[in-house]
Amino acid sequence: MKIIFATANEHKLDEVKSICGNCGIEFALPEGDFNPVENGSSFEENSVIKAKEAYRLSKTYCLADDSGLCVNALNGAPGLYSARYAGTQDAKIEKLLHELSDKNDRSAKFVCCMTLLNDCGDVIFQTIGECFGSIVEERKGLNGFGYDPIFLVEGYSKTMAELSPDEKNKVSHRAVALKNVLKFLQSMP
Ligand code: IMP
């Protein structure tokens, strides 16, 4: 089975392929210019927007991932705006560390909402995966992408960027969501 993975982020595609392993699904990026307007008011809404745009381009099964980092002391920011929080990824991390500099509560979570459309373009499954942790004061580790270097994973004494790709793909918000999607697909007649 082939599923179009509705993203322009190759890191996410690599993680999805690796989490899936030999699950029998071939994931591919949408063809053409994939640039949906993410103007939803929740991860769920943006995930549907991405999935529908991928369907418009491909007319087959599509899976979208909308994800972000939610920090409790910042009322859930950057959240939906994680990708647009500042210009570069370095600037996003600097801004977040600055905003947190006078806060005691550094707890946070990564959230991933996945939406699956069938080959008629209908939403057939939606799920949320979460990964809990806290924000460290200085970046550590070189693996992963995005906010991984400042996210200390609950139950580990390492940031997400210090985990190996295999370790991240066992505990991440994306892994939790994708496993739910794979379970749903296996249950389909
Ligand atoms: P999206 O492409 O609109 O879903 O934006 C997600 C943004 O959230 C990314 O650009 C990253 O900044 C952040 N993000 C999502 N997942 C991860 C992750 O696994 N590690 C680090 N940052 C992530």
List per-block mean pLDDT (blocks of 10 residues) for the chain, which spans 189 residues.
94 96 94 92 98 97 98 98 97 98 98 98 98 98 98 97 97 98 94
**Distance in Å, CA 83 to ligand 1 centroid:** 6
Q: How far apart are CA 108 and CA 32, in angstroms?
A: 35
Which contacts qualify for 157-160: CB closer than 8 Å, 24 or more apart? 160/110, 160/133
Q: Calculate the CA dihedral of residues 150, 90, 141, 7 and round it to 10 degrees.
A: 90
> What structural domains does the chain harbor?
2-187 (3.90.950.10)
Report if pTM > 0.95. Answer: yes
What local confidence, expressed as pLDDT, does residue 189 receive? Answer: 85
Q: Calculate the CA dihedral of residues 130, 132, 137, 139 and round it to 10 degrees.
A: -50
Mutate to test the pocket of ligand 1, among 69, 140, 151 (most ligand atoms within 8 A of CB): 69
Whether 105 is catalytic is: no
Q: How far apart are CA 63 and CA 149, in angstroms?
A: 27
What local confidence, expressed as pLDDT, does residue 32 receive? Answer: 85
